[in-house]
Structure 1
Amino acid sequence: MIQIFGTNKSFDTKAAQRFFKERRIDFQFVDLKEKEMSPGEFDSVVSALARETGSRADAIDLLIDNKAKDYASIAYLDDSEKESKLFENQVKLMKQPVCRNGKTAATVGLQQKVWENW
């Protein structure tokens, strides 16, 4: 089952939902304003991205929205602190949408080429 994490205000999140709807692929939308990722979900997303990027630190950097208003609050932290700061402030700091296919695959932002292979 594919999960889409994002907010209803995010145009990219809406585009991701439309992508899967048009292909009649079942997905679960999780509005981060109502229910943020659990520690387990967050860890599985970071782990899946780390397999692609090579490290957890790179995966966290990929998840951080550098256009967010609160970006300065995380930009200059050590890598060890960034992960907990991002987890605590998912709505304000995370790039959207975050799509997860099971526990092994995840994407950040619009990644239609990757989704087509799912």
Structure 2
Amino acid sequence: MIQIIGTKKCKETAKAIRTCKEQRLEYQFVDLTERALSEGEWRSIFQGYEPLSLIDSQSAYYTKEGYAFREFDPQEELKEHPQLLKTPILRSKGRVHVGFSVDILTSWGTN
């Protein structure tokens, strides 16, 4: 099963969900506005990616809160403010990918 982490407002997350439906891939959607990620989910994401690389510096929240002008611990800020995440985050069987990718979804869905 593929886990898609994102928000309903994110266009890239919507593409990932639509691709899974069209390809009839088994998936689980985690809406960050409704549920916080578990410690295990965070651990697997941070094993695959450096926390700073997961921060969406183009997001309105990043700009509004002034992250460009302050020092912060990326890992702690992501856990406290998941709206900073680049989405979607795709997870399956210990693998993690950030961003929408048809190739990743189809290859993971068939394995």
Alignment partner, residue 53 of structure 2: 62
Pairwise CA distance, 1:111: 2.1
Q: Which residue of 1 aligns with 2:71?
A: 77
Structure 1 unaligned runs (5+)?
51-58
Contact kept, 8 Å, 2:23 with 2:106, in 1: the verdict is no
- Alignment correspondent of 2:35: 35
CA RMSD of aligned residues (A): 1.7
Return the TM-score normalized by structure 1.
0.79
Counterpart of 1:106 in 2: which secondary structure? Answer: strand
Unpaired runs of 5+ residues, structure 2, are none
Which amino acid is 1:83 matched to?
Answer: Q
Q: Which residue of 1 aligns with 2:97?
A: 107
Whole-Å separation in 2 of the counterparts to 1:24 and 1:116: 10
SS at match of 1:107: strand
> What code does the residue aligned with 1:77 have?
E
The TM-score, its normalising length taken from structure 2, stands at 0.84
How many Å separate the matches in 1 of 2:41 and 2:14? Answer: 21
Moved over 6 A (4+): none
